[in-house]
Chains A and B, each alone.
Chain A
Amino acid sequence: MASIAEAVNPKPSNETPTRLAVRRFSRSTSGKIGLALAVFLIVMALLAPVLRPYDPTTDRNYIERLKPPSAEHVFGTDNLGRDVFTRVLHGSRISLRVGLLAVGISLLLGTLLGLLAGYFRGGLEVVIGWLTDILLAFPSTLLAIAIVAVVGPSLTNAMIAVSITQIPVYIRLTRSVVLSARELEYIQAANALGASNPRILLRHLLPSALPPIIVQATLSIGTATLETAALGFLGLGAQPPAPEWGAMLSDAFRGGYATNSPWTMIFPGLFIMLTVLAFNLLGDGLRDALDPRALR
């Protein structure tokens, strides 16, 4: 028996789950690249006011309109003579904040509803399941657009709309984990010991749902960034003159200078892509590290 156990798991040592996860993550190429990219973007967002201490919305220079990239303006200038690099740099602050907040909202609400549905079952589960099915009956981009059409275009509303479209994923995920975990002995034991429902939900069931939720949340940051930028591009999210990347692309497209002065659209789009890519890669790496089924 011992030899089989050794063959299956040559290092059954006293390695903690966290150490195991770190070791697995460090072997994932995509995870490392994603982490490096994400750190780069976060540092860039944090340092934006230091690197370019100008207001990206008012720093205009009408003589320098639509100038191609040069030593002075590495990403060129836009139709109002604003430095595209400064705007892209400050835009990262908006996109990262919105991505994190949107995912935070949907994660909190979705996980809570999923816990409740999986643990209490019955009518509550039916109602939550019904709401989930309805939200999933719309393509997510369309749902976000329709929500913004109701509440009106703004960055905050776009963020809320995007987070609503992502709630069902967390409900399903958490519910499925809870459904299988609630039958296990340690939950029955907690019940028998008289632990309160909130205690069982938060102290015992939530931790087992966390790894897949963390993976999903990381991947969702990319999706949320993409969808918020899409709403900004349609004029339904951040409004000009905010240096939000989607709104910058919208300016270039609607102003009719996107193709004559392509640097006005290439760089904001490139950074949307890099942000999404960073969190997709990071999510892949975390899945390798946290998901016991994804053995490599």
Chain B
Amino acid sequence: MWAYTGRRLLGLIPVLLGISLLVFLFLHLIPGDPAVVLLGERASPEQVEALRERLGLNQPLPNQYMLFLRNLLTGDLGTSHFNLLPIRDQLASRWPATFELALSAMLFAVILGVPLGILAAVRKNSLWDNASTIFSLIGVSMPVFWLGLLLIYLFAVNLQWLPPSGRISIEGGSGFKLISGFFLLDALLQRRALGDVLSHLILPALTLGTIPLAILMRITRSAMLEVLSQDYVRTARAKGLAERVVIFRHALKNALLPVVTIIGLQFGTLLGGAILTETIFSWPGIGSWIYEGILNRDYPVVQGGVVFVALIFVVVNLLVDLSYALLDPRIQYR
């Protein structure tokens, strides 16, 4: 297991180098002088020259890449040319919003999707099973941004039950101290504005969580069906165990392996999909930040954001792979 982990970590190095190379080339692929691209068309020749010097743009490309890599490794991602703040600080202040949203969406998907998938498998071909199949088919075909707009229209505009945007209202925000940046946690710690924070979280989390919910329902159902058709389940039933025990003690454990995989893979995808959800709900996370960066032609922001998300994505996928070994002792790592 340890050797396997080590080998997987080593195998990550070329991929990480590739990501950094791609993101480095990103600036050079944009038509025009990178310094002008970064500073905008109105920059004076002196400013452009100063930036060229600072970024080493007058040096050969390999040297520039080494410089970029060194900066990346020390966490120096440059400065936004729009608000002049360091990328690192903006990332630090924005990632909790995205993680809070993604975790809530995933929680929603797992809490509903796994039990509903089990139910569909246990009552195969029932009305309930068919309904959940139709729901999950529609769910995976749903454009996230459309679902978000529909939910805003229904719950924020028509029924006025929930706020359409942001993480906290103005009233709730007065006197609200940022401790962790996770508003839910901060609200609990301060014992204030909890309802306010929750009500802001519900619609974006529903929007982002619907696709993983649909996928989890499908995967859980098919994994359960597969396990339930196996001999050892028949044996368990034959020796007179209660159906409840057969399903939860015997079948579920083995059915969970693909489910856990999908949860992990979907979490990475959620981070990518967060751009759309965050944009619709004005959610101040990484996704909306990257998007604003693109609109403002603030390329250091786009670079920093993309590197960050790709890094998380790679780490999550690695953890999924490694979790196999813990969940399924039959898997041998050579």
Contact = CB atoms under 8 A, between A and B. Distances in A.
Interface of A: 30, 130-131, 133-134, 137-143, 145-146, 149-151, 222, 226, 229-230, 233-236, 246, 249, 252-253, 258-260, 262, 265-266, 268-270, 272-274, 276-277, 280-281
Contact of B153 (A130, A137, A230, A259): A259
Contacts of B272: 138-143
Contacts, number: 128
A22 B306 CA distance: 45
Most chain-A Cβ atoms within 10 A of its Cβ — which of B29, B142, B271, B299? Answer: B142
B276 interface: yes
Contacts of A246: 143, 145
B102 to A, nearest CB: 11
A260 to B, nearest CB: 8
Contact of B22 (A134, A229, A233, A266): A134
B15 A133 contact: yes
Given A229-B143, A273-B138, A234 B313 contact: no
A147 B34 CA distance: 16
Given A145-B275, A145-B290, A258-B149, A139 B309 contact: yes
B137 A138 contact: no
B141 interface: yes
Interface in B267-286: 268-269, 271-273, 275-276, 279-280
Contacts of B29: 150-151
A149 to B, nearest CB: 5
A234 B288 CA distance: 11
A145 B137 contact: no
10 contacts: A140-B272, A141-B272, A259-B149, A265-B146, A265-B149, A269-B146, A272-B146, A273-B146, A280-B140, A281-B137
Interface of B: 14-15, 18-19, 22, 26, 29-30, 137-138, 140-146, 149-150, 152-153, 156-157, 268-269, 271-273, 275-276, 279-280, 290-291, 294-295, 299, 302, 306, 309-310, 313-314
Contacts of B314: 137
Q: Give chain B's interface secondary structure class.
A: helix
B153 A262 contact: yes
A134 B15 contact: yes
Contacts of B15: 130, 133-134, 137
Contacts of B290: 142, 145
Given A222-B141, A258-B153, A259-B152, A139 B146 contact: no
Contacts of A253: 145, 149, 280
A134 B313 CA distance: 11
Contacts of A138: 19, 272, 306, 309-310, 313
Q: Give chain A's interface secondary structure class.
A: helix
B251 to A, nearest CB: 22
Most chain-B Cβ atoms within 10 A of its Cβ — which of A30, A145, A253, A270? Answer: A145
Nearest to B25: A150
Contact of B149 (A149, A226, A269): A269
A250 B284 CA distance: 19
A140 B295 CA distance: 20
A234 B272 CA distance: 14
Nearest to A126: B14
B269 A139 contact: yes
B93 to A, nearest CB: 20
Contacts of B306: 138, 142, 146
Given A134-B18, A146-B26, A150-B29, A249 B275 contact: no
Contacts of A272: 143, 146
A280 B139 CA distance: 11
Nearest to B297: A149
A134 B310 CA distance: 10
Given A137-B15, A139-B271, A230-B145, A266 B150 contact: yes
A276 B275 CA distance: 20
Nearest to B276: A230
Nearest to A277: B141
Contacts of B309: 138-139, 142
Contact of B302 (A30, A146, A259): A146
A141 B294 CA distance: 14
Contacts of B152: 258-259
A172 to B, nearest CB: 14
Given A149-B294, A151-B29, A234-B276, 13 more contacts: A137-B310, A137-B314, A138-B306, A139-B269, A139-B272, A141-B276, A142-B271, A142-B309, A145-B294, A149-B299, A150-B30, A233-B143, A277-B137
Contacts of A130: 14-15, 18
